[in-house]
Structure formats: structure tokens, C-alpha cells
Chain A
Amino acid sequence: MIPAIALVLGVALGLVFQPGVPLWLQPYLPIAVVAALDALFGAVRAQLDGIFDDKVFVISFVANVLVAALVVFLGDQLGVGSQLSTGVVVVLGIRIFSNAAAIRRHAFHA
């Protein structure tokens, strides 16, 4: 319950304040958001599987975000930034999808 409320609260805060994204953060934020979404879906599924663990979630969330940002950064440095971002988004997208599928099976038994 807390996480759901917190999520809504965060969205609301972002909508109300609409802060500008600092320039150095701009390339990383979108991919970090996708990575964090992946961690979130994983957590929901783990919860439904009955194996959720706060610590694992926190670590996987932070690590996901950091690694995603790092990958984009490295890609930019190596001149393959856009391709690598595409790759990261594809991989995370597939993971989100299959986790969502698992959640769906849990919720609707179908």
C-alpha cells in the first residue's frame, strides 16, 4: 500500500512542480525511468509470488537505475549511445512484458 501511495504521490509532485531536468541528467533520466519501472514490475511479481523482499527490491532498483545510466554514458563515450540505449530499452521492455504477463496470470489466473 505504501509503495502505491508513494508512486501516486511522486507523480503528483512531478506534475505540480514540473521541475526542469538539469542538462547533465537529460540523457540518463528516460532510460533510468525505464530501468526503475522494470524493478517495480519485478517487485510486484515477486510480491504475488510471495517472495518479495524489501532489501532485494531496494538493491535491484538502485542498481538497475545506475547500470542503465552507466550503459548510456558508456555508449555515448564510445559513439554508440543511441544503439546501446535502444538495446537497453528492448531488453528491459521484454522483461517488463514477461513480468507483466506473470502478474496477469496471478491476478486473473489466465
Chain B
Amino acid sequence: MRRRFDVMPSMPEGDRRRPDRDRRSPEGDRRERPSRARGPLPRRSQLLVGLLCATLGFALAVQVHTTRSTPSLAAARPEDLVSILDDLTARGDRLRAEADSLTATRDRLTAGGQESTAALDEARQRADTLGILAGTVPATGAGIVLTITDPQASVRSDVLLDTMEELRDAGAEAMSVSGVRVVTSTYFLDRDGGVEVDGRLLRPPYVFLVIGDPRTLAAALDIPGGVLDTVRRRPGASAAVEQQPQVDVTALRALVTPRYARPAAAESGSIG
């Protein structure tokens, strides 16, 4: 119990003297401790200490990572949490659908052995799908036509950007705005008398051709405070949605190969 006085912050003296006193400790002690520290094989208790330290380091890293990656939902209201849960369910469904189709494809490809016709067929189909997404081939299917008329040019790029995000969220699979095919990298910038989309100046009216489930798409645009509300609140602007059994998205886009980004090894990169 003496220790307590030795380590008072105001008294470094006692502290420094302390080890000397310990070194003068009786024989029994001295015989034991050095062997512990210098023995060629670590003792079991030392291993235990090491194990605990490793556990601590592990827990520390895990905790830091968890704190960073867990969404901060402390402030979320129950209604928001419910809608987030819905979104996560949708995410799970999408991922499962993707996983199922990928598994089927992989099995078909590996079952065919060296037969290249099966692989060729699969590749063609895949190229079609990817081409629709990348805008290199035309697409057709059920969908909607959204027309935004805006004689006073009061609808700015932010509204169009929001529209695109809302439509993507509602499951749009192919889309074009007034003849410009929408792809991953599509952007909207404000310009005099119109909006620049991927380098082309568009003037109103803006016509979105969208392929996807028509009812879902229309409902997404029509929510209170949603795209239609926003457009109608701009002076002179109006918006109309038509659900159609067939929409043809014919605008095309050349494939751009990245010049600076290179394929990286997949993070969980077991291939084969």
C-alpha cells in the first residue's frame, strides 16, 4: 500500500527511487524473476499475456472499423427506420436475384466443359444486357414517358438530376432524356436557356423515356414532395407521366474505355 504515496504526481522522486528498492528485494524474488524474463522459452503465463494483448489489439481494430461502418441511426425516427428496412429488403432481393442468375450462369458455363457454343450464347446474352445498361444498344419494354414542359426555363439541372435518381431508385433499366441516353456517368449542368446533359445542351421540354415497371416508376414520381410536385412548383412549368406497354429507347452511346482506371483484383478475389 505504500505505493500509493510514491506515485503521487507531485512526487517524481519517490517514483524513481522505487525500482532500486525492488532490486534490493529478497533472494526468493530475485531467483525467480530474471529466469522468467530471459528464459529461452516463454512461460505459459507470458503466452497468456501475449494472447490477451493480441485480443485487445484485435478488438480495438474491430471496434474502430465497426464505429466507422455502422450507419449512425441514433437520430433516426421509427418511420425512417421502417423505410430503411424496406430499402434493405429491396437490396437483399436485388442481390439475391443477381446471385441466383450468376450461379445459374456459372453452372451452365462450367457444365458445358470446353464447349464454346454455350459460352458464346451466354456471352451474347450478357453483352445484350450490359449493352442496354451501358447505352450501346437500343432497348424496348414497358415503361413511362415523362414530359417536363418549361417555357420559362425555370426547371434547372437539380430537378433533372433528382428525377434521374428517383427513376433509378424505382428500378429504371434504360433511360434517355430528350435524345441523350442516360448511363452511369450522366451529369446535368445549368446553362443559359437549358441544361447541359453529358456535353449536349438540351432545351425544354425535357422528355424522359424510361423502361421499367410502369406503375412503380409513375408512383415514385408522384409521391408528395417528389419530382412532379417540385416541377409544378416552378413558375410556368408542368409535368406529365404516361404509362406505356412499350417504350423504345433508341438513343445510343459509344462505349468509353477508362484511360486512367485499371481493373483491380477483386477484394474477395478467389477466381475459378
Binding site for B on A (CB under 8 A): 2-15, 18-21, 26, 29-30, 32-33, 36-37, 40, 43, 48-51, 54-55, 57-58, 61-62, 98, 101-102, 105-106, 109-110
Closest to B59 in A: A33
Contact yes or no, B49 A58, CB < 8 A = yes
With a cutoff of 8 Å between Cβ atoms, the chain B residues found around residue A30 in the complex are 63, 67
Q: Residue among A6, A8, A26, A61 with the most chain B CB within 10 A?
A: A6
**CB-based nearest B residue for A9:** B54
Question: Smallest Cβ distance from A57 to chain B, in angstroms?
Answer: 6
Chain B residues near A49 (CB, 8 Å)? Answer: 3, 15, 18-19, 22
State whether the Cβ of B240 lies closer than 8 Å to any Cβ in chain A.
no
Identity of the chain B residue whose Cβ is nearest the Cβ of A15 in the assembled complex:
B61
Q: A6-B50, A61-B52, A98-B7 are in contact. List 14 more A-B contacts (CB 8 A).
A: A2-B46, A3-B49, A6-B51, A6-B53, A9-B57, A13-B58, A20-B66, A29-B62, A29-B66, A36-B52, A40-B53, A58-B45, A61-B56, A102-B7
- What would 29 A/B residue contacts be, using CB atoms closer than 8 Å? A2-B53, A3-B50, A3-B53, A6-B57, A10-B53, A10-B54, A10-B57, A10-B58, A10-B61, A13-B54, A14-B60, A18-B61, A18-B65, A20-B66, A21-B63, A26-B66, A29-B63, A29-B66, A33-B56, A33-B60, A50-B19, A54-B46, A58-B45, A58-B49, A61-B56, A62-B52, A98-B9, A102-B7, A105-B16
Most B Cβ at <10 Å: residue of A8, A21, A101: A21
**Considering the chains assembled together, what is the distance between the CA atoms of A19 and B205 in angstroms?**
51
The answer to whether B43 has its CB under 8 Å from any CB of chain A is yes
- Establish whether residues B56 and A14, one from each chain, have CB atoms under 8 Å apart when the complex forms: no
Chain B interface residue count, CB cutoff 8 Å, equals: 35
A20 to B23, CA, bound (A): 47
Among B9, B36, B54, B63, max chain A CB count under 10 A is at B54
- Please tell me if the beta carbons of B57 and A14 are within 8 angstroms of each other in the complex: yes
- Docked Cα-Cα span, A20 to B66, in Å, equals 7
The answer to whether B49 and A18 have CB atoms under 8 Å apart is: no
A7, A48, A101, A110: the one contacting B56 at CB < 8 Å is: A7
A104 to B62, CA, bound (A): 28
A3, B43: Cα distance in complex, Å: 13
What residues of B have a CB within 8 angstroms of the CB of A57 in the complex? 49, 52
Residues of B contacting A21 in the complex (Cβ-Cβ under 8 angstroms):
62-63, 66
Q: CA of A12 to CA of B15 in the docked complex: distance in angstroms?
A: 35
Which one of B9, B52, B67 contacts A101 once the chains associate, using CB atoms below 8 Å? B9
Query: Judging by beta carbons under 8 Å apart, are B53 and A7 in contact?
Result: yes
Min CB gap B89→A, angstroms? 18
Determine the distance from Cα of A50 to Cα of B21 in the docked complex, in whole angstroms: 10
Residues of A within 8 A of B51 (CB): 6
Q: A18-B62, A105-B15 are in contact. Are A10 and B55 (CB under 8 A)?
A: yes
Whether A2 pairs with B47 at a CB distance below 8 angstroms is yes
Contacts of B12 in A (CB 8 A): 105, 109-110
Residue of chain A at shortest CB distance from B36: A54
In the assembled complex, the Cα of A20 lies from the Cα of B63 at a distance in Å of 9
In the complex, the answer to whether B49 meets A14 with C-beta atoms within 8 Å is no
Closest approach, in angstroms, between the C-beta of B58 and any C-beta of chain A? 4
Bound complex: CA A10 to CA B56 (Å):
7
